Amino acid sequence: MVRHNNQLPNNLTQLQNLIKRDPESYKEEFHQQLAHFETTLEIFNLNPTQYNKKLDEQAMFLAQVAQCYLNEMKLFPQKIVDILKTHNTILHNDMRLSLCKCLILLRNKNFITTFDLLELFFLLLRCQDKHLREFLKTHIITDIKNINAKHKDMKFNSTLQNFMFSMLQDSHPKAAKLSLDILVELYHKNIWNDQKTVNIIADIGCFSKITKVMVASLKFFLGRDEEEKEENSDSEEEIDPRDTMISNKFNKKTRKREKLVEKVKKQAKKLKKKKQKAPAFNFSALHLINNPQGFAEKLFKKLESSNDRFEVKLMLLDVISRLIGLHSLFLFNYYPFIARLLLPHQREVTRILLFAAQASHELVPPEVVEPVMKAIANNFITERNSTDVMAVGLNAVREICSRCPLAIGEDLLRDLVQYKNYKEKSVMMAARSLIQLYRQSMPDMLHKKDRGRPTEASVELKTKKYGEMEIKSHIPGSEVLLEKEEIKETGKKKPVKGKKKKDDSDSEEWVDVASSDSEIEISDSDESDEEGEDAEEVEEEEEESDQEGEEKEGENATENGEVNKQPPEGRKILKAKRKLDKKDIEEKVQSAREIAMETIFTDEDFKRIEAAQLKKSISGSKRKSNVIEEETNEGELVQLAAIENIHKKKKHDYNARLESVMKGREERDKFGYKDRRKNIHCSKTNREKRKTKNYQMVKHKAKGKIKRSFKDKQIAFRNYLIKQKKMR
C-alpha cells in the first residue's frame, strides 16, 4: 500500500507517537529512518567536528522507539558508543551532549549495561566542555544512587570502585579531579561511605602529583566544619516566653513591650524548630583509615619534602595532627617540626597552635612535647609581647595540657600561673583557666594556695604517672541511685557520712566537718554567694579566702618565730575527718560495684550520675543545690575559638563599626516619624498637625505656662476666699 502525500518521514515527532501506539503498522517507516541514520552517520564520520542537526534528530528518534523493535536495535547503542569513543575530544559540544542523552535513554530501556555506560562517561570527563562534565557528574551520582536505593549492589559497587581507583591515577587533571569529586559526593550522600572509598582517597588522592586532586583529598579528610558551622546569632540571653506573654497580658501595652513580645515569639519558634530537627551525626572519614600510623608517616614525609604553597602545607599539618590525636599515634618528629613555626609574627600562627594541641594525647612522652611548650613559653608568654599574644599563648598551653597533662613541668606551670594577678584581664583570665584545669585534673602540681577548696572530686583524684591507666570496676557516681532506692523504701533520706549533729538537743541542723586546716580557718563564704555569680568572681573570692587563711596562720606565729600549735580538739577532729574520708570513699566504691552488678541503668539514671559527679566538683552546699546541667560541646577536635578566646572588647576600625551598625538595622523598623492611624483617611489630631506647621503659627503655644511666685499665689488665694465669702 503506497501512502500519497506522506509527511511522516519529515515529521519525526508524529511518527514517534504513532510507532509507540502501533509498532507493526509503521515498521516500514521505521526501517526507512534507520537506513537514513546509517547514511547520515557515514557522512558525519567524514567531518566529525561539525554539528549535524539531522543526525541529532534521527539518533534521538531511534532511541525513543528502540523498545518497539528489539531485534533491529541491538547494534544501535554500540554505534553511538563507537562515535563517542573515536571522536570524543573533537566532537562539537552540542553533538556530544546529544549523543550522551541518547545513551542515557537507551540505558533506561536496558539496551546498554550501567557499567559500560559509566565507564564511557568517565572517559568523556577529559573533554574540554565544562557543561558536559557537570552534566555527566550529576548523572553518574544520580545513577549510582538509584542503583543502591533499595539495597546495595556490592558486586557492581566493587567493580566500579576499582575502575574509579584507576581513574584517580589518570594523567588528565580534570578527569582525575572530577572522579575524586564524584567519590566524595557519594560518600557524603551515604551511598559509598565504606572503608574502601575512604582508603582509595587516602592512598591515591592525598599523594597525587596533581595539586588540585591532593588539596581536594585533604579537604575531604578535614571535613565540612566551616560549611556546617551554624551562625551563633542567638548569643543574646534567652528570655522565657511564658513569663513575657503573661506579663504582657496584664501590664500596660507599650511599644517596647510589643517589640519584646515579637522577639520572644521568634526565639520560641527557633527553639521549636531546633527541637523538631533530627540530630545529625557526621563521623569523620579519619576513623575509617586502615593504617593510620603508616598514613600519617607518609603524609609527614611528603610535608618535609614539599615545595607547595603555605596553605597546602597547613592542610597537611592539620590532617596529620588530627590523625595523631584521634588514633593516639606516635610521630615524634612532628613536634620539633611544628615548634620551629611557633613565632608570634608567623602567618596563621593560631592555627599552628591549634595543630599542636590536636596532636597531643596522654601517650605522648612529656620530653617529646617539651620543645613545643618551651617555644610557646619563650616566644608568646613574655612581657615583651602584647597582651593578646600572651593570652593566646596561655590558651594554647591550656589546650595542650587538657589532652596531655604531663606535657608541662611543675616549675613552668607555677611560673605561668603567676599571671593570675596580671594587670590585663585577657592574660589574667587565661592564667586562671589554666589553674582551673589543673585543679580538676592534677591539683598536686599547683602551689598549695592555688589548689582552691578541697571538693569530693579533688579528694578522689589520683596523680597519674606517664603511661599509667586507671581502670575502674564500677561507674563513678552510681552510688546516688542507691540513695534514691533507700528514700523510696524508708521515705527518709539517709544521713550523709562525714557530717555531725550539734550537741544541742534543740537544734536539728547538720553541720559540715572541715577536711583540712585551711578549711577550718576559712569562713564558708559560699553560703552567702548569689546564684548569678560569675566564674571570675568565684575564683577571686576563693583566692582572697585562701590568702585570709594564710594570714590567719601567720597571725598564730609567735614573736620568736614559733607557730602556735592547734588545740588538741581541732587535731582530733581533723584526724577523724581524714579517716572518715577514706572510709567513706571505700564504702561508696563498694556500693557502686554492687549496684552496677544488680541494676540495668536507664537514661535517667545516667543523667542523675552525671549531675552527682558535677556536684562533687563544686564546694559549698548552696552551689551544689543550684547545679544546672549544661551540654558540653567537647568533641574529638580542638576548636580554634578556644585558643583565640581573648577576654576583652576588641577594637574596630571604621568599616567594621559601620558593618555592625548596618547589620543591626536589617530587621529593625524604619526609624523616624510613624503615622499610627489605623485608617489613613481619618483626620489627624491638632498635636500631629502642629509638627508640619510653620513656627510662627505655633510659637505662642511654645511659651508654656507662666510660673507664679509664692507671693502671687498667696494674693490670688486671698482674693478667692474674699470672693467666696461675699457670695455667701
Contacts of 39 (CB under 8 A, 6+ apart): none
If you average pLDDT over residues 88-117, what whole number do you get?
90
Q: Give the pLDDT of residue 722.
A: 92
Query: What is the model's pLDDT at position 453?
Result: 76
| More confident: 569 or 332 | 332
Task: Name the grid cell of 594.
Answer: 554492687
Place of cell 562533687: 616
> SS3 sequence, 616-630?
HCCCCHHHHHCCCCC
Helix axes 93-108, 53-64, angle to 10 degrees: 10
Note the pLDDT of residue 496. Answer: 42
**pLDDT of 295 strictly over 70:** yes
pLDDT of residue 612: 74
The dihedral built from the CA positions of residue 150, 152, 156 and 159, taken in this order, carries a sign that is positive
Phi–psi pair at 500, nearest 5 degrees: -120, 155
Burial of 176 (0-12, 13-18, 19+ CB in 10 A): buried
Cell of 202: 587516602
Cell numbers 482674693 correspond to what residue? Answer: 719
pLDDT at 368 over 90: yes
Q: Quick one: average pLDDT of 710-721? A: 92
- CA 109 and chain centroid, separation: 46
Q: What is the DSSP string of 479-518?
A: HHHHHHHHHHHHSSPPPPTTEEE-S-SS---EEEPP-SHH
Q: Distances in Å between the alpha carbon of 728 and those of 714, 723, 724? A: 22, 9, 7
512 strand-pairing partners: 499
Q: What is the mean pLDDT of residues 640-656?
A: 77
pLDDT greater than 70 at residue 581: no
Angle between helices 93-108 and 76-87 (to 10 degrees): 150
The angle, 0 to 180 degrees and rounded to 10, between the axes of the packed helices 425-441 and 387-403 is: 10
How high is the pLDDT of residue 721? Answer: 93
Domain segments of the chain as ranges: 12-226, 291-451, 479-500+511-553+567-626, 695-727
Q: Cα(66)–Cα(82) distance, rounded to whole angstroms? A: 18
Torsion of CA 75, 81, 86, 89, to 10 degrees: 160
Show the cell assigned to 687. Answer: 498635636
Grade residue 459 by pLDDT with cuts at 50, 70 and 90: low
Read off the pLDDT band of 667 (50, 70, 90): confident
pLDDT number for residue 122:
87
Give residue for cell 594541641: 357
Q: How far apart are CA 184 and CA 201, in angstroms?
A: 9
The amino acid that residue 533 corresponds to is: E
**Residues 135 and 100 sit within 8 Å (Cβ to Cβ):** yes
Eight-state DSSP code of residue 118: H
Give dist(CA 243, CA 249) in Å, integer: 10
- Amino acid identity, position 106: L
Q: What does the DSSP assignment read for 360-387?
A: --TTS-HHHHHHHHHHHHHHTSSTTS-H
Mean pLDDT of 556-582: 47
Average pLDDT, the chain: 77
Q: Which residue has the higher pLDDT, 374 or 619?
A: 374
Backbone angles phi, psi at 551, to 5 degrees: -65, -40
Measured distance CA(511)–CA(597) in Å, rounded: 34
Query: What is the 3-state secondary structure of 301-316?
Result: HHHHCCCCCHHHHHHH
Tens digit of pLDDT for each residue in 230-263?
444 444 445 566 667 677 666 777 878 788 788 8
Distance of alpha carbon 222 from the chain centroid: 13
The three-point CA angle 528-531-537 to 5° equals: 75
The pTM score is 0.66
What confidence score (pLDDT) does residue 105 get? 92
CATH topology of domain 12-226: Leucine-rich Repeat Variant (1.25.10)
40-52 pLDDT, tens digit per residue, is 999 998 888 888 8
pLDDT in tens, 494-544: 444 443 433 443 434 443 433 333 332 333 333 333 333 344 443 444 444
Helix (H, G, I), strand (E, B) or coil at 60: helix
